Amino acid sequence: MEIQRSDTAVVFIDPQNDVLSENGTSWAAVGASVTENGTVENMERIFQAAKERGYDVFVSPHYFYPTDHGWKFNGPLEADEFATRTFARSGPLDLTGFPGSGADWLDRFKPYIGDGKTIVVSPHKVFGPQTNDLVLQLRKRGITRIVLGGMMANLCVESHLREFLEQGFEVAVVRDATAGPRHPDRGDGYEAAIINYRFLAHEVPSTTEVVTRMLR
């Protein structure tokens, strides 16, 4: 897949404390994978390269508001998120308690996300972008190719990948700019995702490969 400023964007899913910080609600499940992959460091390298070369950067966040607790049914992961208050916010227009919370950006990413150029779209509510305006925002900027990373590999990242492919985008999933949960019964989410990426994505490069091509 070609990577060029004219039609390629970086898309990061859930660059938030609950899935990337040692203090996050999901760290027990994802921490080993995040650490082994150098996920945070690699995401930052891509942020830096994108900003240096003028690539569009999009963030698809995950937020739950108090009214979402009125849902009548949830899958097992959604139920876990509600129980642990993962990605919880006080409301769509209320930032009470948001700074430094699990739903907030990881501190080291804030300079890139808050630079006035990064496009933060409305939240996705389950796993994929069908419930937010990400595809619209990409289309409005003439984006046809996506460099994809973020959290979690087998859940929100894979769901975004699948929808992007159905929508006609070319997608490179950066294999070490993501990570996944490990569960004694459910298995290794990261390894499962990597297998699927190799079947589905146009490319599954490393961060070093992507950054080198962005900076050339």
Interval 66-106: pLDDT, tens: 888 888 888 777 767 877 888 989 999 999 999 999 999 99
- What pLDDT, on the 0 to 100 scale, is given for residue 83? 79
Report the pLDDT value the prediction gives residue 180, as an integer from 0 to 100: 98
pLDDT computed for residue 92 by the predictor:
94
How far out from the chain centre does Cα 152 lie?
A: 7
Q: Which residues of 149-182 are buried (b: 16+ CB within 10 A; e: fewer)?
A: bbbbbbbbbbbbbbbbeeeebbbbbbbbbbbbbb
The neighbour count for residue 203, using CB atoms within 10 Å, is 18
Question: C-alpha angle with apex 149: 145 to 151, nearest 5 degrees?
Answer: 140
> Tens digits of per-residue pLDDT, 51-71?
999 999 999 999 989 888 888
Task: Tell me the domains of the chain and their CATH numbers.
Answer: 8-215 (3.40.50.850)
pTM: 0.95
pLDDT of 85 reads 85
Other CB atoms closer than 10 Å to residue 206's CB: what's the count? Answer: 13
Closest to 190 measured CA to CA, from 35, 22, 21: 35
Q: Where would I find the H helices in 75-133?
A: 76-84, 110-113
Alpha-carbon distance of 48 to 36, in angstroms, equals 21
Q: What stretches in the chain show pLDDT beneath 70?
A: 79
